[in-house]
């Protein structure tokens, strides 16, 4: 009997560690470069800037096997600026992501914390900003959040497993306010992959975004457009054949009662009151892998806007053109050069929106056009 008890105890001691296997990974990347902008308030501008193609970051992520195909998971990710060492995302410790949850091979995952919305999860991969190009190729003022101007706090997210190439998911972000809908957010989206084809669509709505500092969209480092309601939807596709990839994406953003933009500040018409802003973006892009170490890419976005004020309506438009080349020394280190040009046309609104702004420039241009070129290096660890 004693021998049997000893064998059972020994097997139990061995089985527990095998059952509860866990992994924790430290990872990160550093993106640093030199920018030249031809017009920043009427002057040329040169600056060392961090994190334009991909945000510089470090993070921890891990899983624990709970058995039966179920795992616990977490991710903590902090953004920072290489040029001065400061924290990004408004100085938050884990401003990029911070969540914990459970995943199942059969049912998908559910997580809670500070996370990305469904536009970023499912649609942004079809844009240059969300795929290979980054910040300077954004749609005007990142009106559709495809470059992660904001993350969503207080968020519960569901992500399905892949079902024959199709996956879907959604988020709900609590306002944490006595007024339940004051600065809340919800989104949903899906994508289908078959061979070299990726097709996706997503929708997001935020009520009173940035109205409070503790709601779904923070009024500090996450601020995009401030208004009574933000609605974004879009669809796109990318097709990869051999060394070439081609993308097409359409997004539509409406801001009710807009007050300001996190990029250009207050938006006040010369007369009357601004009641709504609408941006429609149509982007085409292409990328070609010239060799295992070198690729080039290009993009063009046409944006037409509706500027609706009590004094009248205007229809400005924006042309954004971008080019990029990248050379990889290894799997972890590469150098790149990229350039973006924007020109504003159509009706004048009498506001700062009439001046060009390539995101990443220090400030708006003094004219309707702006050009930015960047030479950078990236290292992954």
Neighbours of 213 (CB within 10 A): 12
The pLDDT score that the predictor gives to residue 29 is 97
Task: Report helix, strand or coil for 211.
Answer: coil
SS3 213: coil
pLDDT (0 to 100) of residue 218? 86
Per-residue tokens: 237: 């596709």
Decide: 361 and 47 in contact? Cβ < 8 Å: no
- Cα(first)–Cα(last) distance of the chain, in Å? 54
Half-sphere exposure of 227 (CA within 13 A, CB side): 24
| Structure confidence at residue 132 (pLDDT) | 96
Structure-token pair, residue 328: 């990889």
As averages over each run of 10 residues, the pLDDT of the chain (381 residues) reads: 41 45 95 98 96 96 96 98 93 95 97 98 97 96 95 98 97 94 96 97 96 86 90 98 98 96 93 96 98 98 97 97 98 98 97 97 97 98 96
Domain boundaries, the chain: 21-380
pLDDT of residue 17: 44
What CATH superfamily classification does 21-380 receive? Answer: Porin (2.40.160.10)
User: Radius of gyration over alpha carbons of the chain, in Å?
Assistant: 23
């Amino acid at each position: 009997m004693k021998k049997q008890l000893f064998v059972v105890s020994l097997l139990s001691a061995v089985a527990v560690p095998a059952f509860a296997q866990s992994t924790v990974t430290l990872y990160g990347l550093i993106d640093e470069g030199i920018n030249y902008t031809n017009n920043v308030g009427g002057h040329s501008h040169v600056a060392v800037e961090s994190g334009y193609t991909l945000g510089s970051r470090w993070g921890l992520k891990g899983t624990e096997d709970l058995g039966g195909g179920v795992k616990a998971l977490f991710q903590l990710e902090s953004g920072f600026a290489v040029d001065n060492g400061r924290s990004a995302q408004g100085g938050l410790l884990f401003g990029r992501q911070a969540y914990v949850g459970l995943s199942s091979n059969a049912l998908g995952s559910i997580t809670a914390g500070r996370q990305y919305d469904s536009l970023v999860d499912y649609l942004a991969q079809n844009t240059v900003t969300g795929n290979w190009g980054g910040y300077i190729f954004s749609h005007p003022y990142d009106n559709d959040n495809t470059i992660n101007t904001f993350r969503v706090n207080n968020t519960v997210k569901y992500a399905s497993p892949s079902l024959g190439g199709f996956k879907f998911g959604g988020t709900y972000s609590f306002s944490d306010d006595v007024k339940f809908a004051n600065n809340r957010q919800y989104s949903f989206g899906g994508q289908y992959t078959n061979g070299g084809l990726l097709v996706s669509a997503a929708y997001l709505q935020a009520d009173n975004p940035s109205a409070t500092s503790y709601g779904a969209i923070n009024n500090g480092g996450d601020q995009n457009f401030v208004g009574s309601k933000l609605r974004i939807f879009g669809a796109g596709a990318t097709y990869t054949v051999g060394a070439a990839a081609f993308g097409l994406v359409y997004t539509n953003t409406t801001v009710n009662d807009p007050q300001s933009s996190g990029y250009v500040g207050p938006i006040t018409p010369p007369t009357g009151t601004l009641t709504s802003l609408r941006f429609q973006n149509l982007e085409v892009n292409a990328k070609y892998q010239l060799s295992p170490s070198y690729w080039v890419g290009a993009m063009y976005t046409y944006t037409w806007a509706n500027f609706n004020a009590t004094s009248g309506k205007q229809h400005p438009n924006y042309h954004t053109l971008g080019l990029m080349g990248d050379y990889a020394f290894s799997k972890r280190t590469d150098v790149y050069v990229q350039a973006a040009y924007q020109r504003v046309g159509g009706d004048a609104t009498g506001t700062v929106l009439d001046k060009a702004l390539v995101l990443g420039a220090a400030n708006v241009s003094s004219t309707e056009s702006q050009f930015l070129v960047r030479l950078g290096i990236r290292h992954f660890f």
